[in-house]
């Protein structure tokens, strides 16, 4: 009979569906990209839209670099007293430039926290979505929902 320790790995990969649930629920995410000849990370408010991520921005370094280097990584993370997670999306970012795309994006309800005018829209089309979670606490194990406790 096992004491339960070591029955489950300390880290569990999230399914793609679980990743999208966490992205949609996160109040903000982070964009990692090449910017001004260096790598930088920018916090953004976002919404999930039909398998893509949409965010608002203003004219400036971030937007200019996205037009030059469209490959980006987007990340959300979070934790509770019981567990923690991290989700990373890699993909291509493009500024929305058709009026119907912009009107649709505006209906998503993205509200930036920063007081600057954020009148430009960007969509990230994923090429890869992955995430992981782990149980916080002394045991370092997590429950795998695909396994029953009688296994």
Query: How far apart, in whole angstroms, are the C-alpha atoms of residue 151 and residue 148?
Result: 6
Reading the chain (151 residues) residue by residue, the pLDDT tens digits are 444 445 556 889 999 999 999 999 999 999 999 877 788 898 999 999 999 999 999 887 777 777 778 899 999 999 999 999 999 999 999 999 999 999 999 999 998 888 888 899 999 999 999 999 998 875 544 454 444 444 4
Q: Where are the domains of the chain?
A: 11-135
- Tokens 């921005």 belong to 57
11-135 adopts what CATH topology? Pnp Oxidase; Chain A (2.30.110)
The reply to whether the predicted model has a pTM over 0.85 is no
Query: How far apart, in whole angstroms, are the C-alpha atoms of residue 63 and residue 94?
Result: 9
Query: How far apart, in whole angstroms, are the C-alpha atoms of residue 28 and residue 2?
Result: 41
Query: How far apart, in whole angstroms, are the C-alpha atoms of residue 60 and residue 80?
Result: 35
The tokens describing 4, both together, are 């339960």
């Amino acid at each position: 009979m096992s004491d339960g320790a070591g029955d489950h790995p300390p880290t569990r990969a999230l399914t793609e569906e679980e990743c999208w649930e966490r992205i949609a629920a996160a109040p903000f995410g982070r964009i990692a990209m090449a910017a001004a000849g260096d790598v930088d990370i920018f916090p953004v408010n976002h919404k999930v839209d039909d398998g893509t991520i949409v965010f608002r921005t203003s004219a400036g370094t971030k937007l200019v670099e996205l037009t030059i280097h469209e490959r980006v990584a987007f990340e959300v993370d979070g934790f509770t007293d019981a567990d923690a997670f991290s989700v990373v999306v890699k993909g291509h970012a493009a500024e929305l430039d058709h009026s119907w795309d912009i009107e649709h994006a505006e209906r998503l309800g993205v509200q930036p926290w920063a007081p600057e005018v954020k009148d430009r829209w960007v969509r990230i089309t994923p090429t890869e979505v992955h995430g992981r979670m782990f149980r916080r606490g002394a045991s370092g194990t997590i429950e795998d929902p695909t396994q029953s406790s009688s296994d």
